[in-house]
Structure 1
Amino acid sequence: MTGVRPPDRVNAMAGTEQLLYLDDMLHVTCTVTPGHSIVRLVGEIDRINVTELVHTLDRARRIDERLVVDLGQVTFSDVAGVRALSLFAGSGPTVVRDTPQQIDRLMRLLDLPSFRERGDGDGRRTDADPPASARSDGDLRGG
């Protein structure tokens, strides 16, 4: 069953930040918490690392189907990165939070719905505000 981990694996991973990807410009970590996992991106996303980023995010979905992707420390993203994040967020139960203004602006220019418009409120969740039930459009709010 997807998204279900044996209890020993849950306890071993819970609350521990795991490195999922690292290159000269970007690193991606995942922290498993009850109910969802938080994937943090730190650095720059561009055409050089976007393919690996997508593979990393897809692998993170195997850790936990319900992901919160934190973009608060992304300092740059090109068009390829924004498109990839948008496609990923729309492909499963994912909340994207702390979206930098530069990414919001690129999404508007590309005529992509912002992560806020997808139902993520103001796009700024805290770790204490976990997503509720998943909907098919990627929105994790209850209701």
Structure 2
Amino acid sequence: MLKGDSPLLRGEAPADDRVLYVDGLLRVTSAERSGVPSVALVGEIDRTNSPALARVLREAAGFGGRLVIDAARLSFVDVSGVRVLLGLVREGAATVSEVPAQLRRLLAMLHQTL
């Protein structure tokens, strides 16, 4: 399970959210917010879970509309995770909201934006 005090980090998702993926580092939940498909990412993305994340996000994006990815509760993202997110954004399949400071710094070092 993920570390932290938040119920989301302890493995609980809001009642209206559906768990799409969970491992020892990352939890992905989906919900529809104001008629827009969205997912929330909680925890860490690295090379061990970025392939699974890419698969889950592509499936979620395929359910219709442009997927909104809430990244507010990401505590760590490595370059493999950045590639996954950038790929979806560049394809026009998703937008990323609430980009945390550490991810913004990594993107700046890579001369990229989401």
Would you say same fold, with TM above 0.5?
yes
Question: What is the CA-CA distance between 1:103 and the residue it aligns to?
Answer: 0.7
- In 1, the alpha carbon distance for the partners of 2:82 and 2:93 equals 18
Q: Name the counterpart of 1:65.
A: 65
Q: Deviations over 1:17-73 (max 9, x none)?
A: 111101000010000244311200000000000000000000101223321100000
4+ residue segments displaced more than 3 Å: none
- Does 2:106 correspond to 1:111? no
Question: Using the alignment, how far apart are the partners of 1:73 and 1:45 within structure 2?
Answer: 11
Corresponding residue for residue 52 of structure 1: 52
The runs of 5 or more residues in structure 2 that have no matched partner are 1-14
The equivalent of 1:17 in structure 2 is 17
Pairs aligned (count): 100
1:36 corresponds to: 36
User: Alignment identity in percent?
Assistant: 37
- When normalised by structure 1's length, the TM-score is 0.65
Q: Distance in 2 between matches of 1:19 and 1:58?
A: 15
TM-score (normalizing by structure 2): 0.80
What corresponds to 2:86 in structure 1? Answer: 86
Contact 1:35–1:66 (CA under 8 A) maintained in structure 2 = no
Q: What SS class does the counterpart of residue 48 from structure 1 fall into?
A: coil
**Unpaired stretches in structure 1, ≥5 consecutive residues:** 1-14, 116-143
- CA RMSD across the alignment: 1.5
Q: Residue in 2 aligned with 1:99?
A: 99
Secondary structure in 1 matching 2:62 = helix
Bigger CA radius of gyration:
1
- Match of 2:59, SS state, is helix
C-alpha separation between the residues in 1 aligned to 2:66 and 2:59? 12
Whether contact under 8 Å (2:61, 2:94) holds in the other structure is no
